[in-house]
Amino acid sequence: MIQSRSTTVIALSFRESVVFAGDGQVTVNNAVMKHGAMKIRKLEGGKVLVGFAGSAADGLSLFERFEQKLQSYSSQLGRAAVELAKEWRTDRALRRLEAMMIVGDHKSLYLLTGVGDVIEPD
């Protein structure tokens, strides 16, 4: 079976600023199939950045769900992150998604995983 995956996304938060970067690579086994994948998106008019690593289709599904959570919780980044992690952990279909997300704004940065982790770095 061919296993496809996407790779590196990083974020840096410093003095009420946040920056995300991604390598843009999509690989199948050991071959790089694409160099310009968009793994980082802007939400809320550019105030929130979201990036993913893992399966591209799964990452895009998570982008959509996170955007819905942001709208549901009035752009409260932390609350939206926790609610997405809870849904991701408990929903049968979402549990199978193979991706990780990093979300941030000028105040906060969070790493979200499918096992329910919501990690805010020091």
Q: Which one of 7, 8, 27, 113 is the catalytic residue?
A: 7
- Asked if 3 contacts 26 with a C-beta cutoff of 8 angstroms, the reply is no
- Does pTM surpass 0.95? no
Sequence-separated (6 or more) residues with CB below 8 Å from residue 7: 23, 25, 27, 53
Query: Total structural domains in the chain?
Result: 1
Helix (H, G, I), strand (E, B) or coil at 50: strand
* Backbone phi, psi, residue 4, to 5°: -105, 150
Instruction: Tell me which residue has tokens 């992150």.
Output: 81
43-91: pLDDT as tens digits:
999 999 999 988 778 888 889 999 999 999 999 999 999 999 998 888 8
Residue 2's pLDDT is what? 44
Tell me if 6 sits within 8 A of 26, measured CB to CB: yes
Give the per-residue pLDDT at 7: 62
Residue bearing the bigger pLDDT, 23 or 78: 78
The question of whether 7 is a catalytic residue gets the answer yes
Domain hosting residue 34, numbered range: 4-119
CATH of the domain at 82: 3.60.20.10
- DSSP classification of residue 83: H
- pLDDT of 29 above 80: no
